[in-house]
Chains A and B, each alone.
Chain A
């Protein structure tokens, strides 16, 4: 045996023993142990100071209050003892339904303690009230925050969204912890409504998807059964000017440039087509003509009378003129370059014939009135005819294709570019959805996405970034791609990306889902009116009934549903659903309102159109509302039981609750809520009472807070409000009431 062997033996043996020692120390020193110890220490300290504060407060207090404070202190001391006694160990939340285990609370030990809010992470309490609605025991952490909940180690918990470039793509978690900018996309996993409470970014993003009509080309969750957003292209040949069409196809934003950044106007995206392609597509689109159904407008309209009418019926509620107005209809300032005078005249006369799906009501214009309005537009906004866009003259001459060939090529372009996804056109009903399905979007593999020429060292190869860049400038990523260029601002693109990322494809147990596909706002909490459907809870927009009979005809004609919810379906331009109208307002007021609609809130412009109805029609509407559009939970006879004493007490209550901060009464008050000056003429007592008791139940989007009024308080307030009447009309109304038996009003 040589000496060297013994040296080796001793050396290696010592090293081995040392390494085993290191191994044990390494295993013992797990980071979470420190974190939990510190968290506990901090929490105990914070509890102590809170208890001390309570004790000193209790010493100063008397009676009932003292008792309450002492009770709170006792609860805190129990918590203190519990925390102190709890052993240092791995904490985990098991979510049976999700088949998930979250160990985040091992380090974030104090997350449920509201007294710890603001402490440095990971020792801070959860800010906000989110944990009150989403119990930690039911939701865990990673359902909202993502990351790897199984981990007890900082890096492995995926706090930082590390992606290692190159060959080592070790990333053992599907998604990293969400940054605060994207956090709201997690809300969208369970909240399958277009409007998600307390998630404004997500709501906006989902609204943008709807507005931009992304679902025309892509399969997107929540937008499966949408109607096409753009106007029909049938009869386009006899509607628009060909030169205008060339401009429009070349760059839609050129047509309405002055209306601000983002997806404000011209939802039509820019397709970056070649000039030849545009010419062929225009040829194809212009080939759909219908000259027979149009008649020549009579000459000699009076533009002044037209202008008066234009203002009187409030066209600007939907149409923009001079950068002011609504966004429902097209902008009218450049209308003369777009359509012919003949088309405009025929459109006014026969609106629903030319586009059965338009949101515009069918006005009851006489021929003279129509000519007046048209002439007003042409005189006010008449611009010189357009010149073809730059280079098109030459391209036209250079294009050596027969009409037949142009039509074929245009038709192919029409289907290739997915025009039919947004525009209805007879013969193309089966087309559309040419884009990549965006369901389970967050699961999409970054590797399969086309990153084009993007330097992936400079940008995180993350699917959210991809869609963001793709929305802002589609050509950067795929120069040959089909995706058109939407007029989105950077913020809007980020919001759309956020909304798309909310579709993670995770399996969410049904009891966690918040579903409703019917409207932007949650399903109406009130039972639907009308006959057999009453009380049936419709689950999708399709299940809501069409309004019946004459009422249905009028609703269709005046397109009430463009702005109001009628029978569960419709737009939310107006915050006033019409399904409870009968229970809500007084008959007399309603009849007058149709004659001269006005805005209830002083800061809002009048938006309700003056529909110039036939005198019989407002009467019919009023009767229908009073007979059918009722909510059974609202008492029709409450008004008669209110007393003068109650009204006096109500006046005090009105002052005490500070209602005037938002509402105008007797000429003074805030501008947020509806003016209450003449509310006694307008609302029924039953509605007022019910609304005060539970505002959001009757108007889901109302910002009126729920004050938690007692029955008596609500009665008193109602009684007071019902006394607020138009002094000039009091006599008249009381006469009327006597005639009807007087069970309404106060």
Chain B
């Protein structure tokens, strides 16, 4: 044991403290990229064995976890598919349960098509609209980029909250059932509420929402607008407002039982 300890110490001291390694490292590193990163070169260590060992430990940990879980828990397999026997409720896989939960609040074309599309596009544009150069490489993000972190956190939180609610708190007829509650308990189907906002009010409300959402920061948080520039600003605000718009429909539906904000013969929101 004593031997092992000294040996390991020797390895560490030999490889971290040798100045010639540092010089070689500088020679090996891509000098051209120094300007891009703009910072000083950090300390470096050999991939083998430092990184490889850690990766190998992680790999073994994951394997261990998987093997234990696979021995203990069996993958579900129900009755053979029977198109004439619809289970109540039929739930999507857990990662889509958030979208299924959105079906309570929106028509399927929004919850199932528009929302996921916007989420994917929104995720893709993040690096192109985020001009903030700070907060790279560390977990202290909220200090340096409060806006980006807040918005992203709200989005991720809402996504998982919807998934958890849809997956665990919904029972037959998509009614609310606590996870410990039996689905056999008969629940009255609450009136879903069919309040439809008059068309002109709805269109006005949405126009005002987007107008104010776009406009107010331009006036009051001038520096934010100036940093981003008009194109980036509008793209950012479009996605941010869409996200809050989606989430805002939930209390509208639950508290005021508003079914549609805009209802036309072709589509309804």
Contact = CB atoms under 8 A, between A and B. Distances in A.
A170 B71 contact: no
B71 A165 contact: no
Interface in A155-176: 165-167, 169-174
Interface stretch (A7-15, A270-278, A311-319): A7-15
Interface string B54-87: 1011001101100110010000111110000101
Given A19-B68, A172-B79, A447-B88, A166 B61 contact: no
Interface stretch (B4-12, B207-215, B228-236): B4-12
A142 B49 CA distance: 59
Contacts, number: 72
B108 to A, nearest CB: 24
A170 B73 CA distance: 13
Contacts of B79: 171-174
A16 B61 CA distance: 8
A6 B8 contact: yes
B37 interface: no
Q: How large is the interface on A (under 10, 10 to 19, 20 to 34, 35 or more residues)?
A: 20 to 34
A23 B179 contact: no
A727 interface: no
Contact of B53 (A9, A16, A165): A9
A16 B60 contact: yes
A701 interface: no
B182 A12 contact: no
Interface in A93-113: none
Contact of B64 (A3, A19, A166): A19
Given A1-B11, A16-B60, A16-B64, A26 B184 contact: no
Nearest to B64: A16
A282 B184 CA distance: 42
B175 to A, nearest CB: 13
Interface in B87-127: 87-88
B50 interface: yes
B183 interface: yes
Contact of B71 (A3, A15, A16, A26): A26
A181 interface: no
B101 to A, nearest CB: 16
A668 B86 CA distance: 68
Contacts of A22: 71
Contact of B57 (A9, A174, A461): A9
Interface residues of B, number: 34
B67 A19 contact: yes
Interface in A167-217: 167, 169-174
A292 interface: no
A102 B181 CA distance: 37
A8 B53 CA distance: 10
A2 interface: yes
B171 interface: yes
A736 interface: no
Interface string B1-40: 0001100100110000000000000000000000000000
Contacts of A5: 53-54, 57
B78 A13 contact: no
Nearest to A455: B184
A130 interface: no
A20 interface: yes
A652 to B, nearest CB: 65
Contacts of A666: none
Given A1-B11, A20-B67, A172-B78, A165 B57 contact: no
A51 B169 CA distance: 65
B55 to A, nearest CB: 11
A387 interface: no
A445 interface: yes
Interface in A1-49: 1-3, 5-6, 8-9, 12-13, 15-16, 19-20, 22-23, 26
A3 B57 CA distance: 14
B184 A167 contact: no
Given A5-B57, A9-B53, A9-B56, A170 B182 contact: no
Contact of B184 (A1, A20, A461): A461
Contact of A445 (B8, B53, B85, B181): B85
Nearest to A167: B183
A133 interface: no
B51 to A, nearest CB: 11
Contacts of B71: 19, 22-23, 26
A114 interface: no
Contacts of B60: 9, 12-13, 16
A456 interface: yes
A8 B61 CA distance: 10
A452 to B, nearest CB: 9
A15 B60 CA distance: 9
Contact of A1 (B49, B177, B181): B49
A447 B60 CA distance: 45
Contacts of B53: 1, 5, 9
Given A12-B64, A19-B67, A2 B77 contact: no
A457 B56 contact: no
A5 B49 CA distance: 11
A457 B182 CA distance: 9
A457 B183 CA distance: 11
A447 B184 CA distance: 10
Nearest to B15: A1
Contacts of B76: 170
B183 A3 contact: no
Contacts of A3: 4-5, 8
B184 A457 contact: yes
B85 A8 contact: no
Contacts of A172: 77-79
A12 B67 CA distance: 13
Contacts of A174: 79-80
Nearest to A10: B57
A160 B176 CA distance: 31
B110 to A, nearest CB: 28
B223 to A, nearest CB: 45
28 contacts: A1-B8, A1-B12, A1-B49, A3-B5, A6-B4, A9-B56, A12-B61, A13-B60, A16-B63, A20-B67, A22-B71, A23-B67, A23-B71, A165-B182, A165-B183, A166-B181, A167-B171, A167-B177, A167-B183, A169-B87, A170-B77, A171-B78, A171-B79, A172-B77, A447-B87, A447-B88, A456-B184, A461-B184
Given A1-B11, A2-B8, A447-B87, 18 more contacts: A1-B8, A3-B4, A5-B53, A9-B53, A9-B56, A9-B57, A12-B64, A19-B67, A19-B71, A23-B71, A165-B184, A167-B171, A167-B183, A172-B77, A173-B79, A174-B80, A456-B184, A457-B184
